[in-house]
Amino acid sequence: MQWNWEFTYEIMPRMLWATLNTLMAAGVGYAIAVVLGLALALAQRTPYRGLTLVVREVVEFIRSTPLVLQIFFVYYVGPQYGLNLSPWVAGMIAIGLHYASYLSEVYRGGIESVPKGQWEACIALNMTPVKTYFRVIIPQALPPSVAGMGNYLVGIFKDTPMLSVIGVAELMHAANAIGGQHYRYLEPYTIVGVVFLMISLPSAGLIRAFEAWVRRKLGMR
Amino acid sequence: MMEDMSHYPLELTGPDVPMVRFMNVTKRYGALTVLDDLNLDVTEGEMVTIIGPSGSGKTTVLRMLMTLETINSGVIYVDGKPLTHMPKNGVLVPADAKYLRRARASIGMCFQHFNLFPHMTALENCMEGPVQVLGLSKREARERSEELLEMVGMIDKKDQHPSRLSGGQQQRVAIARALAMRPKVMLFDEVTSALDPEVIGEVTNVIRRLVSEHNLTMLMVTHQMGFARDISDRICFFFGGRIEEQGPPDALFGNPQRDRTKQFLSAVKEAD
């Protein structure tokens, strides 16, 4: 089997369109994970022992089971309880929740890296717990978290093909469909690989630059 | 085992209510008793310095007053009102978070390691409490903060982040930050211990000015004996979680009565 450039050009528009969907899936899923992950991290630090324990177990559970199972679960088990979700919505919930539990661990590490004296200064200034977190602790927990957050951004991007199993029209899904229609898999799968490579490769450098920028922005060196 | 709280007054009344009262205060870490049935009064405007060997509980006194530590037994009163406890159905019960926040509003503290917020400039550090806690407008908070930074000699550096300041400069900003909350009681916990010798003076001079120009009640833990003697109204020598001896600086330094005090003071003198 030989590489067919004509076929490559023919399927390119469809593949690029699917790339946009992949980026959107990664972006939306990550946005959910960033916010929800913070909530999961903070929920484990409240004085309510019961809440801490439940959240801790949920995070452990999600981290210890495969993403693809979670995607199937949300999409196929949901309807049996009257929860009908489109592939997109189900996929975003599953992947967002999955990465939220990973990010919550990143945040936890970042929060624990803030020196004890900072908490004490907040008490001495009589700040509320909410202001303590949002004005003092989280801004300082951010720079040490950026590297981990970046790794999971690349991770979520590379995991988006799993959404094809429930029919989200991202890159992998498009490549499978094209391959099935034309009985040619070489070109579509190669394009998928090249697209992922082109986006993943520069991201490590970008993350490092972003980390430096955050530190500078916060006046910390 | 619950302590019987019925003999602690719900509130201190009368003509001589102290600004701070430790009443039978005990603090333990596991089997170790750090403060042992401590009784200590500090009157309004008084400058009290606590000295003593390490492990004698002197820093714990300040930390308990700032509510950074919990209490095992006894009660601390500030300005006549209980700090560690709150009245409920006619007796004192351990204070909840909400009560603690109200009760400690009149207390400010400076730390050995400054604990400035590294992501904020000197000015922002000072404005943070007034804006976020006291609810002042940005303009009011800035005026108040600039005035205080001026007083501690740090107005030129107001837009610098702590990472660009020396230890002495950071500590002066930290003093301004604490004062911006207009506390009635100020706590200085070994504020010169982490400083290079040549910058200790710039911090002690600020505290000297506070003592002479303001009617703040102050508690200080320090190893600077000469400084303590100069500015304190009273020195408390702590040993084993108790006040071994206390009195005016000249009496305590010049004519100590107890053997442990004498030993400590001569050991300190030798080290100097």
Q: What is the average pLDDT across B124-145?
A: 97
Taking CA atoms, B160 is separated from B110, B123, B170, in Å, by: 20, 8, 10
Q: What is the per-residue pLDDT across B13-54, written as a single tens digit (0 to 9) for each?
A: 988 899 999 999 999 999 999 999 999 999 999 999 999 998
The shortest CB-CB distance from A123 to any of B67, B114, B120 is to: B67
Number of compact structural domains in chain A: 1
Q: Which helix (H) or strand (E) holds B124?
A: helix B122-132
Nearest residue to B26 (alpha-carbon basis) of B44, B39, B42: B39
Q: What's the domain range around A35?
A: 5-217
Q: What is the per-residue pLDDT across B144-161, written as a single tens digit (0 to 9) for each?
A: 999 999 999 999 999 999
**B85 - beta bridge partners?**
B94
Q: What is the ipTM of this complex?
A: 0.94
pLDDT of residue A50: 93
Report the amino acid identity of residue A216.
Answer: R
* Per-window interface: A 104-143 vs B, CB < 8 A: 115, 117-118, 120-121, 123-128, 131, 135-136, 139-140
Query: Would you state the structure tokens that stand for residue B172, as one six-digit string?
Result: 């002066």
Burial of B186 (0-12, 13-18, 19+ CB in 10 A): buried
CB contacts, 8 Å: B116 with chain A: 121
- CA-nearest residue of chain A to B159? A219
Cα diameter, chain A: 73
Q: Report yes or no: A15 and A171 within 8 Å, Cβ to Cβ.
A: yes
Alpha carbon distance B192, B202 (integer Å): 10
Report the amino acid identity of residue A81.
Answer: Y
Q: What is the average pLDDT across B222-236?
A: 94
* Cβ contact A126–B113 (<8 Å): no
- CA-nearest residue of chain B to A136? B117
To the nearest whole number, what is the mean pLDDT of chain B?
94
* % of chain B with per-residue pLDDT over 70: 99
- CA-nearest residue of chain B to A116? B115
Q: Which helix (H) or strand (E) holds B29?
A: strand B20-29
pLDDT of residue A205: 86
At which residue do the structure tokens 């003198």 appear?
A: B269
Main-chain phi, psi angles of B120, to 5 degrees: -125, 150
Q: What is the average pLDDT across A86-109?
A: 96
DSSP chain A: ----HHHHHHHHHHHHHHHHHHHHHHHHHHHHHHHHHHHHHHHTTSS-HHHHHHHHHHHHHHHHS-HHHHHHIIIIIGGGGT----HHHHHHHHHHHHHHHHHHHHHHHHHHTS-HHHHHHHHHTT--HHHIIIIIIHHHHHHHHHHHHHHHHHHHHHHGGGGGGGT--SHHHHHHHHHHHHT--HHHHHHHHHHHHHHHTTHHHHHHHHHHHHHHHTT--
The shortest CB-CB distance from B163 to any of A121, A135, A219 is to: A219
pLDDT of residue A218: 79
Q: What is the per-residue pLDDT across A61-77, written as a single tens digit (0 to 9) for each?
A: 999 999 999 999 999 99
Q: Report yes or no: A25 and A33 within 8 Å, Cβ to Cβ.
A: no
- CA-nearest residue of chain A to B113? A117
pLDDT of residue B272: 65
Mutate to test the interface with B, among A126, A214, A220 (most CBs of B within 10 A): A126
Alpha carbon distance B24, B8 (integer Å): 10
The CATH number fitting domain B20-271, selected from 3.40.50.300, 3.40.50.1700, 3.60.150.10, 3.10.105.10? 3.40.50.300
Query: Would you state the structure tokens that stand for residue A41, as one six-digit string?
Result: 């991290």
Alpha carbon distance A160, A94 (integer Å): 11
pLDDT of residue B259: 95
Helix (H, G, I), strand (E, B) or coil at B246: strand
> What CATH number should be reported for the domain holding residue A49?
1.10.3720.10
* Per-window interface: A 139-198 vs B, CB < 8 A: 139-140
* % of chain B with per-residue pLDDT over 90: 89
Measured over the CA atoms of residue A71, residue A72, residue A76 and residue A77, the dihedral's sign is negative
Alpha carbon distance B54, A91 (integer Å): 59
